[in-house]
Amino acid sequence: MPDATLQSFLDGGTSFDGKITFSGTIRLDGAFKGEANADGTLVIGETAEVDAHLSVRTAVIHGQVRGDIIARDLIELGPTARVQGSLKTQRLRVAEGAKIDAKIEMTRQTGPA
């Protein structure tokens, strides 16, 4: 995971429906449905179940995500990641064991994000 200080945390056993907007780094280990927009890092923990549209600078996925993930810098899929939907990013890092059923689009940064 990129170096970052964790600013917020949604623990396992917790669910949230709605829109999250943030800067910095947050970690989700519970259930989240909705939309996340950030100029920061979103970490999806191993126990997380996410059904959302994610637009962030960096996404680090270890749990389950259904939906679209747009990361202006990096999408990192850990060995326990399960992703369905679409991925759009400049850089993609996939660990052995990750399960992906997604359209993948690699982009090139054309200016400030």
111, part of any domain: no
Mean pLDDT of 10-15: 68
**For residue 22, what are the domain limits?**
6-106
Over residues 17-59, the pLDDT tens digits come to: 889 888 889 999 999 999 999 999 999 999 999 999 999 999 9
- The strand order across the sheet containing 99-106 reads 6-10, 15-28, 31-44, 49-61, 64-77, 82-94, 99-106
- Structure confidence at residue 5 as a pLDDT band (50, 70, 90): low
The answer to the question of residue 1 being in a domain is no
Is residue 82, in this structure, part of any structural domain at all?
yes
> Does residue 10 belong to any structural domain of this protein?
yes
* Residue 95 predicted with pLDDT over 50: yes
> What pLDDT, on the 0 to 100 scale, is given for residue 4?
53
What is the pLDDT, as a whole number, of residue 3? Answer: 44
Tell me, yes or no, whether 22 lies in a domain.
yes
Residue 112 lies in a domain: no
> pLDDT band at residue 89, thresholds of 50, 70 and 90?
very high
- Give which of 32, 38, 29, 86 is closest to 62, Cα–Cα: 29
99-106/6-10 β-pairing: unpaired
Q: Taking all residues of the chain, what is their mean pLDDT, rounded to a whole number?
A: 88
Q: Is residue 61 part of a domain?
A: yes
Q: Look at residue 30 and tell me if it is in a domain.
A: yes
Number of domains in the chain: 1
